[in-house]
Amino acid sequence: MKRLLSFAICLVMLGGTWGGASAALAQGQRRGQGREAQPQGGETLIRNATILTVSHGTLAASDLLIRNGKIVAVGQNLKAAANARVIDATGKFVLPGIIDAHSHTMMDGSVNECTQSVTSMARTQDILNPTAINIYRELAGGVTSALLLHGSCNSIGGQSTTVKFKYGRPAAEFIFPGAPPGIKFALGENPKRTNFTQQPGQQRYPATRMGVEETIRGAFTRARDYKRGWDEFRAATARGDKNVLPPRRDLTLEPLVEVLEGKRYVHSHSYTADEIVMLINLADEFGFKVRTFQHVLEGYKVAGELARHGAMASTFADFWSYKVEAYDAIPYNSAIMTRHGVVTSVNSDSDERARRLNIDAAKMMRYGGLTEEEALRLVTLNPAMQLGVDSRVGSIDVGKDADLAIWTAHPLSVYSRVETTFIDGDIFFDRTQDLAHRTQLEQERKTLEQADANKAPAAGATPPATPRPPRRAYTDDDDVQDEGNNQR
């Protein structure tokens, strides 16, 4: 009990440390201050660090050279250009940027389009808010990339977006270039709306688990027929037939055709073992692969089936029992799936938890006996593989993007914190700069408050009404905050 209490206190202290980085430099960047995140180019040399490559072990007292956004050398006694930025990392650790394989950060407004059971035409890419403060907070926790998913109130939801958290840049620069497109599926309680209070006459199909399965099967049956129509049209056109007409475009079915063709990844919300196996069987029926099962809290029960299908798994470290589907979750889930050969990651599904994914990874050494490198892979290389971007990020290897963070201590320790976060070789979080801006911003706040106080209304005048606070924009997944529906 004492050990648990001590651990909890450490987490609170750590959360406070990172939480303090929530606004200072971030506000300055939006107003033109603290422009460290602007393109820098050139070279950066990180010297004398402990480098956690994730892919090929730990390198003690080593250097890392970045040039034009790429890692160009890793080793000892590296040399850089005369005008290179040089960072002394003696006693510190360098880790690849953390990747969150299930996020809703920077999605403006609701993450759910709940009006239909199949909303594959909706695109999360169209609602990105590049000024969301949680981007900066996650950078302060070493997070550099994320998979932004639609919510889970649909059997087949909207299209996902893979991003790099380039805070201070336009939304278009967040899009991870070349990342394979994805789409969100959902199984179980959420798409059948069990926990959703519906008005009379507004009940939506499906209302049962078997209805969820048939909704997905029906959508792919239509998509298969739609694909056949286009294939026949293209074949006729290639033969020189000028009388054939193209099928009518269907924006709902086009993403599903991409799934059938292996061009779009399926990321499916799931909980119970039976529904996991159901979707595997359905995917086999239509000839596609489920890329990741998200949450997958009963994945340990069907780890062999996941491995045989070739699916990957992205789960929580220790978040469960918030609804009946989550009652059978165990902390050994990640380790059991890993031991069965399933590429497993630990995700946040939360703007707040995302700041501490390094600690969630550390827990998996305690529950299941994963090695240090296996634990680190849960939040770096494994999610990169799940997103199809592991040739670019996820480990410290020559030729990969310079997405990484410098930590004051080993990242799996609750006593460590991030000092600097790089994306493509540019600095997007710097703790020293953040601390320097806090005093400046506090003084600015006092000046504004004093100016406001000097505008006191004249005697007898009615003071202006206090404005209502803006409605909070829910950006966490439906499991945590489903647009007020309490779908836990």
341-389: per-residue pLDDT in tens?
999 999 999 999 999 999 999 999 999 999 999 999 999 999 999 999 9
Amino acid identity at 267: H
Q: What pLDDT is recorded for position 10? A: 46
pTM of the model as a whole = 0.86
Instruction: Tell me the average pLDDT across 219-239.
Output: 97
Cα 74 to chain centroid, rounded:
27
Residue with the two structure tokens 């991030």: 418
**Do 106 and 100 contact (CB within 8 A), yes or no?**
no
Rounded Cα gap, residues 179 and 162, in angstroms: 7
Amino acid identity at 303: A
pLDDT in tens, 78-134: 999 999 999 999 999 999 999 999 999 999 988 999 989 999 999 999 999 999 999
Angle of helix 209-238 relative to helix 273-286, nearest 10 degrees, comes to 20
Amino acid identity at 73: A
Residue with the two structure tokens 């909207």: 158
Q: What is the DSSP string of 208-257?
A: SHHHHHHHHHHHHHHHHHHHHHHHHHHHHHHTT-SS--PPPP-TTTHHHH
pLDDT in tens, 401-431: 999 999 999 999 999 999 999 999 999 999 9
Instruction: Tell me the average pLDDT across 263-269.
Output: 98
Helices marked H in 253-395: 254-260, 273-286, 303-309, 333-339, 357-366, 372-377, 381-387
Q: Which residues contact 193 (CB under 8 A, 6 or more apart)?
A: 153, 203, 204, 207
Q: Which residues contact 175 (CB under 8 A, 6 or more apart)?
A: 125, 161, 162, 163
% the chain with pLDDT above 70: 83
Q: Which of 97, 37, 166, 143 is nearest to 437 (CA)?
A: 37
pLDDT at position 207 over 60: yes
Angle at 188 between CA 203 and CA 378, to 5 degrees: 140
Torsion region of 57: left, alpha or beta (phi above 0 gives left; psi -120 to 50 gives alpha): left
Sign of torsion, CA 160 163 167 172? negative
pLDDT at position 474 over 50: no
Rounded Cα gap, residues 181 and 198, in angstroms: 32
**Do 223 and 359 contact (CB within 8 A), yes or no?**
no
Q: Which of 324, 319, 260 is nearest to 289 (CA)?
A: 260
Angle at 369 between CA 365 and CA 375, to 5 degrees: 40
Rounded Cα gap, residues 201 and 437, in angstroms: 55
The token pair at 228 is: 């056949």
Instruction: Tell me the average pLDDT across 423-450.
Output: 94
Q: Compute the residue count for the chain.
A: 488
The token pair at 198 is: 């519906």
Rounded Cα gap, residues 83 and 227, in angstroms: 56
Q: Which of 225, 245, 224 is nearest to 234 (CA)?
A: 245
Instruction: Tell me the average pLDDT across 138-159.
Output: 97
**Do 149 and 104 contact (CB within 8 A), yes or no?**
yes
Rounded Cα gap, residues 123 and 218, in angstroms: 21
